[in-house]
Amino acid sequence: MYLLFDLSTKDQIHLALFDENSVEHKNYPGRNRELLGCIHNLSKIKNLKFKIRNLAGIMVVTGIGGFTSTRVACVVANTFAYVLKIPLLAITMAQASDPQKLIPKLLKQKSGNYISATYSGEANIGRKKV
């Protein structure tokens, strides 16, 4: 099983759990800080038979969305990848619509390589308000 994180829409957490044969999309209303809780909820859905320890890779939508949401998604993905020794892949929003196509590319990534957040704009943390 593979997992996709998409936090590009404000106050929405989109997760996709997929393999070569099926994709299950789940949308959760909530702030980026609730990502881990949403992943936990996904693991509790009986018909999905999803166990975090069985993840084979993670994809993360980067390059669009809020600064903090992008950082949270990347940090959580990097942490899972480190602990589980699985590959990661940063993808675009357009690629997120069909993550199964990207499984071969994900599997070519080396375990131990981590993703960096890319942003849709410049961060404005600490800037003086005019």
Residue 118 inside a domain? The answer is: no
Residue 114 inside a domain? The answer is: no
pTM of the model: 0.87
Give the tens place of pLDDT for each residue, 54-76.
999 999 999 888 888 888 999 99
Residue 39 inside a domain? The answer is: yes
Taking residue 39's Cβ as centre, other Cβ atoms within 10 Å add up to 21
Residue 42 inside a domain? The answer is: yes
Q: Copy the structure tokens of residue 62.
A: 């980067």
Residue 130 inside a domain? The answer is: no
3-state secondary structure of 62: coil
Residue 83 inside a domain? The answer is: yes
Asked if pLDDT for residue 122 goes beyond 80, the answer is: no
CB contact at 8 A, 22 and 56:
no
Residue 86 inside a domain? The answer is: yes
Classify 105 in phi/psi space as left (phi over 0), alpha (psi -120 to 50) or beta: alpha
- The domain in which residue 100 lies consists of 2-108
| Rounded percentage of the chain residues whose pLDDT exceeds 70 | 91
Domain count, the chain: 1
CATH number assigned to the domain comprising residue 39: 3.30.420.40
Residue type, 125: I
Residue 122 inside a domain? The answer is: no
CA 32 – CA 11 distance, rounded (Å): 7
pLDDT bin (cut points 50, 70, 90) of residue 124 is low
Q: Copy the structure tokens of residue 2.
A: 């593979």
